[in-house]
Amino acid sequence: MKSTFETFLIPMGILMLGFLSALLLPAPWFGVQLTKSLMATFHLQDIGQLYTLVFCLWFLLLGAIEYFVIRFIYRRYFKI
């Protein structure tokens, strides 16, 4: 059974690592054609809305991956 602290720590760790990813890792860039088709598909007003969504999803995904990799390494090699 997970402790209450670990349940609280998982989302906070993912958000923190997502923020660090925003500072360190580049976000994906789409070509002009793909950008226009995504804007038409999701009915967005301008390119700023599209890239706001892309950046949020990209950095949360990277934060989650980093969190689980670090947690795996910690539990596998450093936990007593």
Which residue ranges make up each domain of the chain?
4-78
d(CA 2, CA 76): 17
Give the per-residue pLDDT at 40. 94
Question: What phi and psi, each to the nearest 5 degrees, are found at residue 30?
Answer: -100, 155
pLDDT at 1 over 60: no
Are residues 30 and 60 in contact, defined by beta-carbon separation less than 8 angstroms?
A: no
Mean predicted confidence (pLDDT) in 38-50: 92
pLDDT band at 19 (very low <50, low <70, confident <90, very high): confident
Give the per-residue pLDDT at 80. 64
Give percent of the chain with pLDDT exceeding 90.
Answer: 22
Which stretch of 11-15, 21-25, 45-49 has the lowest confidence by average pLDDT? Answer: 21-25
